[in-house]
Structure 1
């Protein structure tokens, strides 16, 4: 019987709950919520089942000078955007770090990639839902 890494999953849950509170306080639109849900599922997919394919794609892309040049341009644009919107990207960095920690703990516990995908997605979505419910319905005593 495999044991769940409860501490890292609790950190992941708390990170998504905090991010959900931030989205509610900033009066995010439904488009922003949709993008966050897509980010949540895509991040779990990239860290579990699609990781080898992504690594092969990056290796193939960086075999040419055009690939390196494009990487430098995109990276500099990304750093500029991150610095301009640091508060928002601070949350994304915390989410990514928490999900990587939980993924590594699940991998060390012996969970398969599909099991890890389901666990990561469940805890992430539960965190978003809990933060939303606690903010929208403050009388729930969560």
Structure 2
């Protein structure tokens, strides 16, 4: 008679069979960072499609000419960062300084014009006896 400890049963064998995945091109392995970059990129592109870019809301009294000058100044700042030589950078910096002064002058004039319009409306309201606040 055999004892149960003496009987040897064959150990089960497991074989790993690799089946190629459809559409797998055999490129590099993806890391977690690569996966997150892909996810983040798709989220950002979807967000921009649905919501649009975040726009800066300027004051209502700033004129379109002033906004154009602000855009020119931004372009000159970008040109400073993209300039390759020191002489080119100095030249663009001088242009940017001039553009900055023009923007400041233009905005100052717009603000002055806006304040004059508010004062005119307030005077008109005072003459007519209308005490409604017109300071939008």
* Fold equivalence (TM over 0.5): no
Higher helix share: 1
What TM-score, normalized to structure 1?
Answer: 0.31
Which of structures 1 and 2 has the larger relative contact order (alpha carbons within 8 angstroms, sep 6+)?
A: 1
